[in-house]
Structure formats: structure tokens, C-alpha cells
Amino acid sequence: MTTSSPGGRDRRPGERGDLLDPRCPTRRLLDRIGTKWTSMAVKVLAEEAPGELRFAELRRRIPGISQKMLSVTLRSLVRDGLVARRVEPVVPPAVHYRLTELGLSLEGPLRALRVWAETHMAEIDHSNRLADESSPDQRVDRMR
């Protein structure tokens, strides 16, 4: 998602002057969870609750995520107060992450979305397939 403005304006929560909805909570939330790895990180942490997971463990449980993106994602979640970060001051640093209460409270809505997705993505795929077979010609001469 894209909260900030590619070609428009958009402000921090406090600024005003926007012509369009400036701080619509829903859009802001979707900009966060719509970010490629956030919801997966929350899910993984939620399944582990109330335990904690270390950086490397999280990475193992989120197939395909890069070290950079896990770092970025976690930093964002911590900043938002959805995840708590605990550093154990041992030799090779051990950092633990866990959902805060706020983060945990997001799991319900997120799970509902997951259930919907698992239940209905096949229908969406079917609809797309129908569109693909019944229009490629029109598309060719009106698009491209």
C-alpha cells in the first residue's frame, strides 16, 4: 500500500490542508497491514503467543522474507506499538519479539480476513479465469 503520496499530497496525522480524507483510520491501517509482510509477521507472532520469538526464528517462519524486510517490518510494528522488542544483553545479542495487547487485538479482524480469503479466493480465481477467456480479443484492440 502506499500511504504517502506518489503524485499527490498526504500528511502526517497532525497536518491538515488535504483535499481528500487526510487521516482515514482504515486507509492508514490498510497501508500498514497491506504491506507485504506485516500481516504474516503478526500471524506468526500470534500463533506463538504468549511466547516470544527471536529474529532468526521469525525469519524461519516467514518463508521468503529477507533480513532487511523482516527488520523493516518489525521496526514498524514496534513503532506502532503492536509488537514489543526485548533485548537480552548477552554476548551474541538475543532479541525477542512478542505481540502487545494492541497487536493481539488486531488478530481477530486479521483472522476473519484470512478465513474469508481461504474461503473465497477460489471464486475470485474462477471469476478471473472467466474474464480471461471471454475477452482477450476485445482487450487486444482496445488496450495495448
Partner DNA sequence: CGGTATCCTCAATGATACTG
Partner DNA sequence: CAGTATCATTGAGGATACCG
Question: Distance between CA atoms of 41 and 83, rounded to whole angstroms?
Answer: 10
- Choose from DNA, a copy of itself, none: what does 126 bind? Cβ within 5-8 Å by kind: a copy of itself
Question: Distance between CA atoms of 82 and 103, rounded to whole angstroms?
Answer: 4
Q: Give, for 88, the enclosing helix (H) or strand (E).
A: strand 83-88
* DSSP type of residue 65: -
Q: Is the dihedral of CA 65, 70, 72, 74 positive or negative?
A: positive
Q: Shortest gap between Cβ of 47 and a copy of itself (angstroms)?
A: 13
Strand order in the sheet with 83-88: 53-54, 94-99, 83-88
Q: Which of 11, 20, 86, 93 binds a copy of itself (CB under 8 A)?
A: 20
Q: Shortest gap between Cβ of 99 and DNA (angstroms)?
A: 15
Binding-site ranges for DNA (CB under 7 A): 1-8, 31, 35-37, 54-57, 64-69, 71-72, 74-75, 85, 92-95, 142-144
Using CB under 8 A, list all residues that contact a copy of itself.
1-2, 8, 13, 18-21, 23-31, 33-36, 39-40, 43, 63-65, 79-82, 102, 105-106, 108-110, 112-118, 120-121, 123-128, 131
